[in-house]
Each structure stands twice: as structure tokens, then as C-alpha cells.
């Protein structure tokens, strides 16, 4: 193990009994929360979201919430009516 360089490992697959020494390459990704290093790096091109899109999404969300609230209200009404029907049927018997 002491002879392994950075990024090297011994790998054994479950379908093969051989053990291979492999070198993994370093993957470079942008991490805005990472501590910046001294080397230069390429910043990704970040897109901004238009205010109109945000407004549209809020409107859709509000409409969906109203629809769900109305659905829940209708379910409660049906449940209450079912209970009343059951109560009246029991009185009749």
C-alpha cells in the first residue's frame, strides 16, 4: 500500500479473481463552496432566471394550491354527506 501513488488503488471485480492496480484520474468540478486554490480555474457560465418566469411559477403554485384546497374541501363535504346518509339509514331500520 505504501507504494501507491495519489489516485491509485487495487481493484477486484466480483466476476473476476484477478486484482488489478489502477490509476484514477482526478475529476475537476466547480464547487462554489470550496476553498479557492492558487491555480486558475474556469468559472461556469451561470444563467439568471427572469422575473417573469418566477412570477409565472408562483402563479402556477398558487393555482395548484387552490385546486388542492378545493379538492380537500369537496372530499370533506362528501364524507359529511356519507355520514349523514348512514345516520338516516340507521334511523330508518
Model-level pTM greater than 0.85?
no
What is residue 38's predicted lDDT score, i.e. its pLDDT?
67
Contact 25, 38 (CB under 8 A): no
Over residues 57-81, mean pLDDT: 94
More confident residue, 1 or 91: 91
Positions of E strands within 1-93: 8-12, 19-23
Distances (CA, A) of 63 to 42, 54, 58: 41, 14, 9
pLDDT tens digits, one per residue of 43-53: 777 777 788 88
What is residue 47's predicted lDDT score, i.e. its pLDDT?
75
| Sequence spans of domains, the chain | 49-92
Amino acid at each position: 500500500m505504501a507504494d501507491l501513488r495519489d489516485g491509485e488503488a487495487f481493484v477486484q471485480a466480483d466476476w473476476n479473481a484477478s486484482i488489478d492496480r489502477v490509476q484514477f484520474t482526478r475529476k475537476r468540478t466547480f464547487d462554489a463552496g470550496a476553498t479557492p486554490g492558487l491555480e486558475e480555474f474556469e468559472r461556469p457560465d451561470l444563467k439568471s432566471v427572469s422575473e417573469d418566469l418566477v412570477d409565472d411559477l408562483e402563479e402556477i403554485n398558487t393555482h395548484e394550491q387552490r385546486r388542492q384546497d378545493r379538492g380537500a374541501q369537496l372530499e370533506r363535504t362528501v364524507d359529511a354527506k356519507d355520514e349523514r346518509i348512514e345516520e338516516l339509514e340507521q334511523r330508518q331500520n
